[in-house]
Amino acid sequence: TAGCSKTSKQTSPQSASTGNAQRTQAMYKNFWYACGQSTSITAKPRKMKMLGQNLVAYRREDGEAVVMSDLCIHRGGALSGGWIEDGCLRCPYHGWKYDKDGKCVEIPANGKTKSVPSRARVDTYPTAEKYGFTWVFLGDLPAEMRPPIPEFPEWDETMRPTYGEYTWNANFRRVVENSLDSSHASWVHRNSFGSNQNPEIPDFDIEHTDWGASAKLTLISPKLKGLWGSKREVLNKVEIHNAFAMPNLTVVLMKFGKMQTRLYNVSVPIDEETTLTHWVILRDFFKSWIFDADTRRRTLKIFYEDSPIVCNQRPELIPEE
């Protein structure tokens, strides 16, 4: 894919012969990644890890989110253990102070008479706010060459959003694959919204976009329990719209009767074996905040059902062939 930088790791043929398939791991750095819900980035420095990199994020008084390497270049202290002063991040080890661009502006031990060396700086990364998430670009492309933040199809601000996170002990490509797989719902989610009495997947057409694709199909789903099931028949058709955008956005739009939900998953690779999914689900019914907890519970139930399947897949990576 154009604009992708990869880091690769392969096992030896000998290890493949012992049962571990040869694998290639690719993490795509030249894309925007959600690093958390916007409200989770505050004036308190927050430690995070993405694409194998240790990062620290905080929000300045003017509202700008700052993301930088979580490593003081002096003696390797973790900046995430520091604090904010005048919009700058103070290292907790020797007090070095970094501005939003990663430049060190103060070295207390040197006093006020010595200037700060120009090489005293840490890496910082562009940020943006969209869809209730803070996004960060960890790549090395200039602004005019960067891919856009993934578009959330049919995003509707009149619907009620509920946000959450889920951590997988699995490679992010397996997580993305699972989210796009409609046929597993009949079996893995047979006690929630799938039906293994009606497992057939109808023919469907794929529509391509510049950075992804989508498909629409209709499945048979059993009656849901509780309040959500109060508006549905015992067995009915559910209209599904699945979508994908590089490198890690998956979308499941569902319409059943007069009710609609729209689930957007942004699955971020922490490392080769860990994935953090930032998700938001929209609903056009029961829009009071008092139903957010039930919405969160139902959404997490899907992840809980998927997790043991995805985390135990072998090989751990999608085979090249």
Q: What is the pLDDT of residues 289-310, one digit of tens each?
A: 999 999 999 899 999 999 999 9
Q: What is the pLDDT of residue 261?
A: 92
The distance of Cα 201 from the centroid of its chain, to the nearest Å, equals 28
Q: How confident is the model at residue 228 (pLDDT cuts 50, 70, 90)?
A: low
Indicate the pTM of the whole model: 0.84
Cβ proximity of 228 and 259 under 8 Å: yes
- Distance (Å, rounded) from C-alpha 196 to C-alpha 194? 7
Q: What is the pLDDT of residue 9?
A: 37
Neighbours of 303 (CB within 10 A): 20
Residue 160 neighbours by CB under 8 Å, 6+ apart: 282, 283, 284, 286, 287, 288, 289, 291, 292, 295
Q: What is the pLDDT of residues 45-87, one digit of tens each?
A: 999 999 999 999 999 999 999 999 999 999 999 999 999 999 9
- Distance (Å, rounded) from C-alpha 157 to C-alpha 143? 28
Residue 256 neighbours by CB under 8 Å, 6+ apart: 221, 232, 236, 237, 238, 239
- Distance (Å, rounded) from C-alpha 303 to C-alpha 280? 13
Q: Which of 97-111, 117-131, 194-208, 275-289 has the lowest mean pLDDT?
A: 194-208
* Amino acid at the residue 218: T
Cβ proximity of 22 and 14 under 8 Å: no
- Distance (Å, rounded) from C-alpha 237 to C-alpha 207? 22
Q: How confident is the model at residue 8 (pLDDT cuts 50, 70, 90)?
A: very low
Residue 109 neighbours by CB under 8 Å, 6+ apart: 94, 95
Is the pLDDT at 29 greater than 50, yes or no? yes
Q: In this structure, what are the phi and psi dihedrals at residue 259, rounded to the nearest 5 degrees?
A: -105, 145
> What SS3 class is residue 113?
coil
Q: What is the pLDDT of residues 233-288, one digit of tens each?
A: 445 677 888 999 998 999 999 887 778 899 999 999 999 899 999 999 999 999 99
Is the pLDDT at 21 greater than 70, yes or no? no
> Nearest to residue 8, comparing CAs of 29, 31, 24?
24
